[in-house]
Amino acid sequence: MKKLWAGRFAEKTAKAVEHFTESISFDRRLWRYDIEGSIAHAKMLGKQKIIPQKDSSAIITGLKNIAKEIESGKFGFAPELEDIHMNIEAVLIKNIGDAGKKLHTARSRNDQVALDLRLYLRAETKEIISLIKDLQKTILNTAEKNTGLIMPGYTHLQKAQPILLSHHLLAYIEMLLRDRERFEGSLKRINVLPLGSCALAGTSLPVDRVYVAKLLGFKAVAENSIDAVSDRDFAIEFLTNAAMLMIHLSRLAEELILWSTEEFSFIELPDAFTTGSSIMPQKKNPDVAELIRGKSGRVFGNMIALMTIMKGLPLAYNRDLQEDKTPVFDAVDNVKSCLTVLAQMMPQIKFMREKMRESAGKAYSTATDVAEYLVRKGIPFRQAHEITGKIVRYCIKNKKELGEVSLAEFRNFSNVISKDIYPRLSAESSVNAKISRGGTSPSEVKKQINKLQQRLGERAKR
């Protein structure tokens, strides 16, 4: 098949080169955006009388027919035509004749592919924002249903202080709020029209880029034609946002994996979201959570891949930029699948209330409450900390929990201690006492839930 750029060349392209340079095997997913951009471009060419109106109309009809062919699966993609742009243009010319040859007037594949990628990422970013919101709602509902469930809070993966499970889950909603804000903020930088920049220098033809921007819903027009065709900051920003999101999903997945172990026994994962072993009949493996944790590495790699591609490129367009799509596509697919499966799994997780509550009261988790009790009695915190540490050491040596220490034993460490210390030693009293803003007390957690419900509701109306 004759190349659309074959005029300059005396020899045919080697088959090995065709195979090496083709991108249609992966960039065909841009077809919808390529046609959308081409229709807007054709309308502008007709409006500006750069091409006859009848040719503009024929091109638009031809492109819509190609869209129907692709949707029905009847379109034949040709690797020898390199990419989605030339595949569509070649069939357009075949179907409508010479009018089709006028479509590429006042544009280059350089600004065309930049347009397609921006249109694609704009749509996918909006979908990812919606999926993040769905997951937030799911986690929020889970938190609201478990407001009285006490569990151990950890630092260094060691029991630290009792907290509410709801409080723990709300931390992930805060992370996801920041993720949504990052994706929402990036839409401004994605939503810039590069079309009309042509190869790198612009065009001498009287194009109307503002008109094309309005047709395609872009809020701004790229001001520098060289930057417009060589910029992939918006794609790197997307991948950076995706990597941050996957950090948070991976952390949640890691905790679900830990909590589902026999050693923790805090949760039971649903059968529908776990798998078994090919050799050990008793196994119930948290494969979904493990794959979320693993796929985060792929998304991180995609971010680094595109950064590495871009770091040494001279202006303007270079063929290296063909490699921008696979990391973006892979990140989009993995982020969406992780968000979707996690949102479906979370409501079906069974929390082991008794086990979590029992564990929350162990390992001297209310020691900080003892120190704060001493502070209320007028003892400086550093001194209170030291006294409490000695009490804990005494308990460890004598195999006692804090609640099993007699008043006489307590008073060996400080004579300000009286029987009013005992109500402060339970996990419940510890949790109830954390009334500082954003703390783990039921009253504060309820406030957090109400604020998040309002915030998610407000965002939903936008």
In the residue annotation, 277 being an active-site residue is answered as: yes
Question: Are residues 67 and 98 both part of a single domain?
Answer: yes
Question: Are residues 299 and 190 both part of a single domain?
Answer: yes
Question: Are residues 346 and 377 both part of a single domain?
Answer: no
The token duo for 390 is 């000695």
Given 358, 377, 407, the domain boundary residue is 358
At 237-274, the pLDDT tens digits run 999 999 999 999 999 999 999 999 999 999 999 999 99
At 89-128, the pLDDT tens digits run 999 999 999 999 999 999 999 999 999 999 999 999 999 9
Given 309, 332, 358, the domain boundary residue is 358
Is residue 455 situated within a structural domain?
no
Question: Are residues 197 and 279 both part of a single domain?
Answer: yes
Residue 228 pLDDT > 70, yes or no? yes
Length of the chain: 462
Q: What is the pLDDT of residue 3?
A: 65
Q: What is the pLDDT of residue 457?
A: 82
CATH number at residue 145: 1.20.200.10
Question: Are residues 321 and 401 both part of a single domain?
Answer: no
b/e string for 420-445 if b means 16 or more Cβ within 10 A? ebeebbbbbebbbbbeeeebbbbebb
At 31-52, the pLDDT tens digits run 999 999 999 999 999 999 999 9
Average pLDDT over residues 159-180: 98
Residue 462 pLDDT > 50, yes or no? no
b/e string for 365-376 if b means 16 or more Cβ within 10 A? bbbbbbbbbbee
Catalytic residue among 72, 156, 204, 436: 156
Q: What is the pLDDT of residue 70?
A: 98
The token duo for 271 is 């059968």
C-alpha 27/C-alpha 258 separation (Å) is 39
Q: Which of 69-73, 262-266, 276-280 has the lowest mean pLDDT?
A: 276-280
Average pLDDT over residues 432-458: 94
Kindly give, in sequence order, each residue whose CB lies less than 8 Å from that of residue 83, ignoring residues fewer than 6 positions away: 22, 23, 24, 27, 109, 113, 322
Percent of the chain whose pLDDT exceeds 70: 98
Mean pLDDT score of the chain, rounded to an integer?
95
**How far from 109 is each of 53, 73, 115, 346, CA to CA, in Å?**
23, 25, 9, 44
Is residue 451 situated within a structural domain?
no
At 303-348, the pLDDT tens digits run 999 999 999 999 999 999 999 999 999 999 999 999 999 999 999 9
Average pLDDT over residues 141-162: 96
Positions of E strands within 222-347: 267-268
What is the band of 11 on the pLDDT scale with cuts at 50, 70, 90? confident
The token duo for 216 is 């395609």
b/e string for 251-277 if b means 16 or more Cβ within 10 A? ebbebbbbbbeeebebbebeeebbeee
Residue 460 pLDDT > 70, yes or no? no
Instruction: Report CA dihedral (387, 392, 395, 396) to the nearest 10 degrees.
Output: -140
In the residue annotation, 385 being an active-site residue is answered as: no
Question: Are residues 327 and 419 both part of a single domain?
Answer: no
What is the band of 2 on the pLDDT scale with cuts at 50, 70, 90? low
Catalytic residue among 25, 130, 277, 418: 277
Question: Are residues 249 and 352 both part of a single domain?
Answer: yes
CATH number at residue 27: 1.10.275.10
What is the band of 8 on the pLDDT scale with cuts at 50, 70, 90? confident
Tokens 């993995």 correspond to 334
Three-state DSSP class for residue 348: helix
Q: State the amino acid at position 49 in one-letter form.
A: K
The token duo for 107 is 């544009």
Question: Are residues 90 and 131 both part of a single domain?
Answer: no
C-alpha 433/C-alpha 366 separation (Å) is 11
What is the band of 4 on the pLDDT scale with cuts at 50, 70, 90? low
Average pLDDT over residues 408-421: 97
What is the band of 18 on the pLDDT scale with cuts at 50, 70, 90? confident
Q: Which domain holds residue 85?
A: 6-105
Question: Are residues 31 and 117 both part of a single domain?
Answer: no
Is residue 350 situated within a structural domain?
yes
Is residue 329 situated within a structural domain?
yes
pTM for the model stands at 0.94
